[in-house]
A and B are shown apart, each in its own frame.
Chain A
């Protein structure tokens, strides 16, 4: 547990003066996401530790380098959790990196994403100014929501140094039910189940099986189990953890891994049967050597977007292409935070 804020500000200040690009590195567990990093390393992993935790206020504040494992353990002592189920691609995964990459696990459609749970941040912008946005309260509409803007920005708008998050109580009971069916039927069923007011907390189709997780009071989980009368997966928790952390055999990285974020009810007949269909249909993982353009067309038809999540050519564009007017706004926004373009340049797009 350490506060190295002065050193971090100093390094950004130096980089600002000399126009030296910086690569922001937390736990280095998500280095493979985004375009290939360039620049001098700015290490935030040492800037770690929980600053405050008020279980009754449902708020925890930690330095960006704090590991997810530490947060999870501390919250568990009070029977609480990070409801967005942060993926841990390695044990070094930090909360700062999780926000920067907007990473959330299987519970996301029901519990919300890390973007939804962030209440405030401190960050160092590209002018080496250490700024605070949002706060530690649930509702705060003063000024622009700069905190949530960091989700998915991959550090290109600022070096996140501190994060306040909403935390939630752990459910009293959890159970995972299994259906055997093909992908197209599973997509329809997931939509139907999601429209019922049952305590669903995850729904994923994978290799011929649909897994649905129930979380809530014991009475609600038991009653729903009885009503739906499906087989119960005994090692359910293990399955969801493996899915969350991409440890299932599917994620063998033999080919480039595509991530589709689309309309949950959409069918992509060309890919679905060979995909993992998570988030009740809204997130699909596919491994293949297809062209980006083809994938974007499929994603567009499904009212969503695709990114090349891992593997493939990391010097080319890896995110869904951006129409010109939107590109213009994004560039100007980047300049407003980082006028000299020193923070993770090119990590999101070649043109920014």
Chain B
């Protein structure tokens, strides 16, 4: 490591020696689109945005940044929702956008070999001719990349049955902070030694830069159908979810929406959602023809017995797609009924749903802010959307406080602060709510094992001990002032 400081111009000049000049971006106007990810409230301008095209170039970038202790923030499609890809003012953004090749689809082994910048949906599109697909399907799957999915351990609406990204990745090639190439995992289902793959999935760009990924492909189910059921109360809808699980079924997807989300989604997608419902459930059953036939009947009868006001089952692929369209476009739909919205991502034990939603309603009144709820009911992952207007001064600070309280509530009932969006820069303040100081120290020690200088995506994911102490003293001061 060098103690000499480089000027920003000299640094960019160094990069231009091996990266095409147009891919070393350092003017404010061209860098602007990179100042934030999907969480636009958090933004920052970097020294430069780099778009290398080869692993060797990536390696050189890392070596230079390592030598001069320059922060490196990896970026895929920038669809993340936790400011995990927000630039560092003293660092570079390392875009993996040029690494967009599907290297191979192997139908015999059912494995896809991918560069990190391949879009999630493109994997399933490429595997289609072999009757295969890639299971994890975050709502952003049209745009988000597999590299970003690994970094965030992304989920989607089919997690309960098919798992998260970590369950579907076989191996990863990555560069260490010093630019050394590591291969984690293999084509087999496990590897000798520490399971570093488990650490890399969800590590938010803090441990290394991913250069290649192998994922498992699954056979496309013979048939899939969705049952939509409307309820007069959240409690009834929640009980119905429990009853399906208790009956021994694991639906491919099980989603719940509250009345705000239902009407916004219906306005947006005209999916045929009943506007007068208090809660709506979408339950997808997949498998063989016989299995789906059998389970659809069981699901319908559970919904009817537990007081559904209407039950409708998709009779064609078009109808199934339409029912999902409403759910998958719930976020943009909410965007139309409010100037801005802030999406939270806590997970709770399903049995606590009614309690948590009631509490949230109380907080909503307290803060004078509306909340719409979209819920991966099968796996307990809650997405409260706080509606607000960013043009009102001080409004976002209030929203953030409200959001933080929701996450603390999730931890209080035995859940966690993030189910699939990640911690990023956004949820650092809630990390000490979920973890003790010693646990945070252990995380910091893991980080140091990979990145002793702390230059990979600094200020994200894992609070440093110093950060925790500072934050705690500010909070104590607040209590003292209020006390």
B418-459 contact mask (Cβ, 8 Å, vs A): 1 or 0: 111111000100110011101110110110111000000000
B152 partner, pick from A135, A141, A260, A332, beta carbons under 8 A: A141
CB distance from B176 to the nearest CB of A (A): 7
Interface segment among B257-265, B284-292, B394-402: the answer is B284-292
B287 partner, pick from A220, A307, A332, beta carbons under 8 A: A220
Cα separation A326 to B417 with both chains bound (whole Å): 32
Since A137-B416, A191-B108, A326-B182 are in contact, a sample of 19 more A-B pairs with Cβ atoms closer than 8 Å, ordered by chain A residue number, is A56-B245, A135-B414, A137-B380, A138-B160, A141-B152, A141-B202, A142-B417, A144-B462, A148-B166, A149-B196, A195-B110, A197-B219, A197-B222, A217-B290, A265-B109, A283-B188, A326-B193, A330-B194, A332-B448
Q: Is A143 an interface residue (CB 8 A)?
A: yes
Q: Are B221 and A197 in contact (CB under 8 A)?
A: yes
B379 partner, pick from A138, A188, A223, A283, beta carbons under 8 A: A138
Which residues of chain A from 10 to 58 have a CB within 8 Å of any chain B CB?
Answer: 54-58
Q: Is A319 an interface residue (CB 8 A)?
A: yes
Tally B residues with Cβ within 8 Å of A: 96
Q: Are A112 and B163 in contact (CB under 8 A)?
A: yes
The 4 closest A-B pairs by CB, nearest first: A261-B188, A148-B198, A139-B419, A263-B187
Q: Is A62 an interface residue (CB 8 A)?
A: no
> For chain A, which range describes its interface: under 10, 10 to 19, 20 to 34, or 35 or more residues?
35 or more
Residue ID in chain A nearest B380 by CB atoms? A137
| B-to-A contact residues, CB < 8 Å | 106-111, 130-132, 152-153, 155, 159-160, 163-164, 166-167, 176, 180-184, 186-196, 198-199, 201-203, 219-222, 242, 245-246, 248-250, 287-291, 293-295, 347-351, 376, 378-381, 414-423, 427, 430-431, 434-436, 438-440, 442-443, 445-446, 448-450, 461-462
CB distance from A249 to the nearest CB of B (A): 25
Cα separation A152 to B192 with both chains bound (whole Å): 7
CB distance from B96 to the nearest CB of A (A): 20
Q: Are B445 and A337 in contact (CB under 8 A)?
A: yes
Q: Are B446 and A333 in contact (CB under 8 A)?
A: yes
Residue ID in chain B nearest A133 by CB atoms? B439
CB distance from B481 to the nearest CB of A (A): 29
Residue ID in chain A nearest B448 by CB atoms? A336
Residue ID in chain B nearest A220 by CB atoms? B291
Q: Which residues of B contact A146 (CB under 8 A)?
A: 442-443, 446
A113 partner, pick from B159, B189, B379, beta carbons under 8 A: B189
Q: Is A349 an interface residue (CB 8 A)?
A: yes
Q: Are A149 and B194 in contact (CB under 8 A)?
A: yes
Cα separation A157 to B446 with both chains bound (whole Å): 11
Cα separation A336 to B446 with both chains bound (whole Å): 6
Cα separation A137 to B417 with both chains bound (whole Å): 11
Mind listing 21 A-B residue pairs with CB under 8 Å?
A79-B248, A113-B189, A136-B414, A137-B349, A139-B159, A141-B164, A144-B203, A145-B202, A168-B250, A191-B110, A197-B221, A216-B288, A219-B294, A220-B287, A282-B189, A283-B189, A325-B182, A330-B196, A334-B194, A336-B442, A337-B445
Q: Which residues of B contact A237 (CB under 8 A)?
A: none
Which residues of chain A from 300 to 323 have a CB within 8 Å of any chain B CB?
Answer: 302-305, 307, 319-320, 322-323
Q: Is A185 an interface residue (CB 8 A)?
A: no
Residue ID in chain B nearest A319 by CB atoms? B192
Residue ID in chain B nearest A145 by CB atoms? B198
Q: Which residues of A contact B419 (CB under 8 A)?
A: 137-141
Q: Are B190 and A102 in contact (CB under 8 A)?
A: yes
Q: Is A172 an interface residue (CB 8 A)?
A: yes
Q: Are B439 and A54 in contact (CB under 8 A)?
A: no
Q: Are B153 and A141 in contact (CB under 8 A)?
A: yes
Q: Is A6 an interface residue (CB 8 A)?
A: no
CB distance from B391 to the nearest CB of A (A): 32
Q: Are B189 and A108 in contact (CB under 8 A)?
A: yes
Q: Are A131 and B438 in contact (CB under 8 A)?
A: yes
Most chain B Cβ neighbours within 10 Å, of A55, A172, A307, A326: A326
Cα separation A222 to B198 with both chains bound (whole Å): 37
Cα separation A135 to B153 with both chains bound (whole Å): 16
Cα separation A205 to B132 with both chains bound (whole Å): 24
Cα separation A145 to B187 with both chains bound (whole Å): 21
CB distance from B249 to the nearest CB of A (A): 7
Q: Which residues of B contact A157 (CB under 8 A)?
A: 194
Q: Is A180 an interface residue (CB 8 A)?
A: no
